[in-house]
Amino acid sequence: MLQCRTNSPAETGALAFRLGEKIPSGTVLCLEGDLGAGKTLFVQNLARALGVTEEVTSPTFNLMNVYKGRLTIYHFDLYRLETEQELEEIGFYEYTDDPAGLVVIEWPDKFPDSLPEDHIYIKIERTTGAEQERCFTFSLRGTRDGSLYKELDGICQF
């Protein structure tokens, strides 16, 4: 487990951008955090690093947004889903198996048993410090993303 803190939305964006510069195809990122924690800001800057020029928004009502950049980003928001059957209906498993894309899943804690075996789990928490300060906890699940996970220590340095 690796932790780092950001002190502002600009630092959160910089963290995501640096990750986006290094991220390989086939990666799955799971973003857990309360409403307003910075998940969408994180994805916006990750996408910008991957060359996405269109507006990146939370897929809360669409359930999934697709963005084209250096990698195709499949951005899921599971907040409104109630059953694992709904994951099947939106093609969740087909997209998470795409070796050429990048999958970002918001609210992964709703269906922990349905997540791909290999992923990097990112928990974003507000701290008791400054209002804009966030604590990021990165955990490696599985083995495929081990190289990227090792690089996170350098990416987290401000």
- Structural domain spans, the chain: 2-155
DSSP 8-class letter at 23: P
3-state secondary structure of 7: coil
d(C-alpha 51, C-alpha 73), whole Å: 11
What pLDDT is stored for residue 146 in this prediction? 81
- Assigned CATH for 2-155: 3.40.50.300
Q: What is the pTM of this model?
A: 0.92
Q: Encode pLDDT of 107-154 as tens digits.
A: 999 999 999 999 999 999 988 777 788 999 999 998 888 888 888 888
